Amino acid sequence: MKFELDTLGLIHSPYKEKFAIPRQPGLVTSSTARLELLPPYNQADAVRGLEQFSHLWLSFVFHQTMDQGWHPTVRPPRLGGNERVGVFATRSTFRPNPLGLSVVPLLGVTLERGGVWLELGAVDLLDGTPIVDIKPYIPYADSLPQARGGFAPEPPGDLLTVHFSPEAEAALAHHQRALPQLRQFIGEVLAQDPRPAYKKGKTDEKEYGVRLFDLNVRFRIREPECEVISLDPAQ
Ligand code: SAM
């Protein structure tokens, strides 16, 4: 059987590229996102009662990588990037059906003239991600504290300590009013060490860049430290 899915809505998030997006929503908590419902789903009736729930399940399409296919085994970053496990034992983006599933905080529902927006807490989703289903999170059914977490029993613990250069500090001060959470957000994102697994534990002189909001954030990592070098307006 083949199925066709409709895009119900689009994510608006600070993550403008795949690099450095957290691997699960709760790993970076100091950010918010919005889900814009698209016609014909952008009607108040379709979300009536949703505001009673604190969290949602979002089913989405890994639209940026869906053309890259899949392999039966993958090398999860959690296993250092060199041990293979079956694709269905992972949350890899490269899957036979490019569907993802994230549980995210619902902060509110905004009804505008001709529009419905879901105000979300932290997400692990690229800006523009197409959402194909929305369901309320139901704690009695969905929370299983006794469940075994396989090779990912805990959130990753080896976080980097993030510092800001004087130039980056000046830029943070400049953006303080519009983006008051920016320092914490960048700190949480980079503390996860977004580099490929093979870079870890080695001397790394490379200067990296990532686009967050409309900023190009440049940084360098000398484990266990990360220095944010600059924050410039993205071109
Ligand atoms: N929580 C979801 C799940 O378990 O199905 C997603 C987990 S997946 C490991 C999260 C990663 O997906 C992010 O770190 C980012 O690299 C990638 N990602 C997020 N949105 C994407 C999109 N629209 N297209 C392709 N990759 C995306």
Pure H helices in the chain: 139-142, 166-175, 182-191
- Mean of the pLDDT values across residues 17-25? 96
Any residues with CB less than 8 A from the CB of 145 and at least 6 apart, and which? none
Q: Judge whether residue 179 has pLDDT over 80.
A: yes
Return d(Cα 219, Cα 205) in angstroms, integer.
Answer: 10
Count Cβ atoms within 10 A of the Cβ of residue 192 and give its class: 0-12 exposed, 13-18 middle, 19 or more buried: buried
> CA angle, corner 138, sides to 132 and 143, nearest 5?
105
9-142 against 161-233: fold identical: no
Domain boundaries, the chain: 9-142, 161-233
* CA 61–ligand 1 middle distance (angstroms): 9
CATH topology of domain 9-142: Elongation Factor Tu (Ef-tu); domain 3 (2.40.30)
Share above pLDDT 70 across residues of the chain, in percent, rounded to a whole number: 100
Residues 188-231: tens digit of each pLDDT:
999 999 999 889 888 999 999 999 999 999 999 999 999 999 99
Nearest CA to ligand 1 atom 12: 93
Residues 46-85: tens digit of each pLDDT:
999 999 999 999 999 999 999 999 999 999 998 988 899 9
Which ligand 1 atom is the nearest neighbour of the CA of 24? 1
Please answer whether residues 178 and 215 qualify as being in contact, where contact means their C-beta atoms are separated by less than 8 angstroms.
no
Q: Is the CB of 227 within 6 Å of ligand 1?
A: no
Q: Is the CB of 20 within 6 Å of ligand 1?
A: no
Global pTM reads 0.97
* CA 100–ligand 1 middle distance (angstroms): 7
Give 161-233's CATH code, choosing from 3.30.2310, 3.30.200, 3.40.50, 1.10.3470: 3.30.2310
Which ligand 1 atom is the nearest neighbour of the CA of 21? 14
Count Cβ atoms within 10 A of the Cβ of residue 169 and give its class: 0-12 exposed, 13-18 middle, 19 or more buried: middle
Nearest CA to ligand 1 atom 19: 125
Q: Is the CB of 31 within 6 Å of ligand 1?
A: no
Return d(Cα 91, Cα 22) in angstroms, integer.
Answer: 12
